[in-house]
Structure 1
Amino acid sequence: MRRTLLASLLVAAAPLAAQETRFTPTIAAGGTLALENINGPMVITQGTGRTAEVIVTKRVIKGDGSYVKAIMEESGGKVRICTIYTNRDPNRKTCKGENSSPSRGRDNYDQVEMRYEVRVPAGVLVDAESVNGNITATGLEASAALQSVNGAIIFSGTTASHLETVNGGIKAKFTKADWDGTLKVSAVNGGVDLVFPAGLDADISGETVNGGITSDFPVTIEGKWGPKSFNGKIGRGGRRLSIETVNGGITLKKG
């Protein structure tokens, strides 16, 4: 009897098998692939052709994960794939809405991880957001915008419009330095490490509260310079580069 009871308890405590949802939308060059996740990492790589591949793997760590789903929306040249929680609205079928996990007392809440593995078609922009989870995007050939609340951002590619996180560091390597407008890189609790080609031309501003600033690039100072902040120019200047962090250092490297 004891063995039967113990076996039942172990089965009940074990996490459910991972469940996989696959999306394969066709996106034209110049279109956008938007990704929105609540809890779990995102891994994004460069693909070929016109078909994106997004595999979302759900892992229920504790509780009920049946109401956590990944869905896809298409509008014009934009495809959006998002995680939704349907516990408040069982009929919900859109990305827009409230996401929250039910709580049943202290330390008694559902834990569901959604892992995104993404291959992006050539020439497609990436706009990825995560609440709890790292975002890793490597080898991207078109512009990217990556945002996380609790998680690090790791990026390599040609260009980006912004890389932002609250709790986590940012590591980025750019193969080109030809972004349009302003490239904004921002962290609150974490360092910022950026690698640019040797021929970088940019008007640059940087600021940190608790951390130092180092640069492989000569910076012509225009305005203020201090151990915690600066405004200046790299090379001939031109496009804007804004770097901010509160708790962490700023490092600019040639590569």
Structure 2
Amino acid sequence: MNEQQPGTPSASPRVAVITGADSGIGRATAVRLAGEGMDIGITWHSDEEGAERTAAEVRATGRRAVSAKMDLTRLPDAAGVIDRLAEELGGIDVLVNNAGTGTATLFLDLDLDTVREVVDTDLIGPFLCSQRAARRMIEQGRGGRIVNVTSVHEHQPRVGSAPYCAAKGGLGLLTQVMALELAEHGINVNAVAPGEIATPMTGQTDVDVHQVRRPGVPLGRPGDAREVAAVIAFLSGPDASYVTGASWSVDGGMLRMGPQAGSHLESDAWRRP
């Protein structure tokens, strides 16, 4: 078995696969990693047109892009998409588990099908996709990077988001276990925990985040998907060779307030004693 010595940095990554890259953080990450010299595998669930727009942006940088439909509620078969994209692109050096879904339903009103859909998409799917990617990275013998896109709700709860919080909290701890177990193979595993980001999931697209006021967020605005992509790109590259098992909050300071308060405060009164 081709194993690196613990702590050995991997070579500059060549191929990245990003789940849920048809819009938002996934699209921004695909374009950013392509700009850093990687060929890109794109998965999409329902927006094939959006995935093609992402692929066009990747190809405009001079890199290859391939896309495939992935439905993470159809497990374990859906995880096979990782292998198919890796085969087509000639390997895999980076996996970004970005695909996700959520709810706005009180705990007592949740039905089992909804809970299973969220947990499968946000936790079990990333688990199985990461297994597929890690096995290939080990076989390739040049290490790799896995980045799990969690949420501020990896760390703190939100009313109406019981299965989402449970899944993202689980993905955060899964990240830490993976980091311990995969380190000997030169595979670094980290999480990125976004706060409110202007994406389709939060009902915000094509907006100038600097023109949107969020009094409860210390930086006073939501984030741009490209700001999250920049952190993912760092964790995916050679400069993060000594970073593993960490969760990087990209939230404008929201966690310092508590995400419930950060998104609900309507004035800046808290800024003064």
Q: TM-score normalised by the shorter chain: which range applies? A: under 0.3
Identify, as 1 or 2, the structure richer in helix. Answer: 2
TM-score, length-scaled by structure 2: 0.25
TM-score, length-scaled by structure 1: 0.26
Q: Which has the larger radius of gyration?
A: 1
Identify, as 1 or 2, the structure richer in strand. Answer: 1
